[in-house]
Chain A
Amino acid sequence: EAEVAQSPRYKITEKSQAVAFWCDPISGHATLYWYRQILGQGPELLVQFQDESVVDDSQLPKDRFSAERLKGVDSTLKIQPAELGDSAMYLCASSLSGTSQETQYFGPGTRLLVL
């Protein structure tokens, strides 16, 4: 069964350092999402890509976060510099074309701890 891949699964870093997360969506899925999930809360959308284009990054803290999907396939989310409040699970999801009746499939997530 096709799955969304993410790496690393866990990351511990010190504040002010840079971190990067990678996501490879299900093959053929045009839409890719990055979410942040703080413990005890639901996932919150950070950025949505349609192919290589950003379609929604309204909740992305652009002073420190950046995301790219250069070839419209895999994607990287970067945080620089990391802050203590960035400790969370970072989830990547993909869907076929991003319409309202499509399911989003989630990867295993990257758990980030900022010390």
Chain B
Amino acid sequence: QKEVEQNSGPLSVPEGAIASLNCTYSDRGSQSFFWYRQYSGKSPELIMFIYSNGDKEDGRFTAQLNKASQYVSLLIRDSQPSDSATYLCAVMRYGQNFVFGPGTRLSVLP
């Protein structure tokens, strides 16, 4: 079982819709969870992080964490074509390093 799993996609949503990106992880001791966006040929850029169970909102983005289910998600409201990218989930445990998932490719259709 891979440590961090994501659906590779592509996930296609129409402009203005809500995009839901999911990530599951195997290490129950994981403490920190990060979402990065990566445009084709570019490096990852941080969208947001979450440490506690529940929801965390930042503009059009909401991260949701459920440690009991070992599940973290990212919701993008009012999706725009400029949101089309690969979204990487990264999980970290104290004293250890980031483990990245393979990424989900999102396509927002005009």
Contact = CB atoms under 8 A, between A and B. Distances in A.
Contact of A45 (B34, B94, B98, B103): B98
Given A43-B44, A91-B43, A104 B98 contact: yes
Contact of B51 (A101, A105, A111): A101
B17 interface: no
Majority secondary structure of chain A interface residues (helix, strand, loop or mixed) = loop
Given A100-B92, A100-B94, A106 B43 contact: yes
Interface residues of A, number: 22
A100 B99 CA distance: 12
A48 B94 contact: no
A108 B42 contact: yes
Given A41-B102, A100-B92, A107 B43 contact: yes
A42 B94 contact: no
A44 B100 CA distance: 7
A101 B34 CA distance: 10
A80 interface: no
Interface residues of B, number: 27
A43 B101 CA distance: 8
A108 B31 contact: no
A72 to B, nearest CB: 19
A103 B34 contact: yes
Contacts of A14: none
Given A91-B43, A106-B45, A100 B102 contact: no
Interface string B18-48: 0000000000000110101000011111100
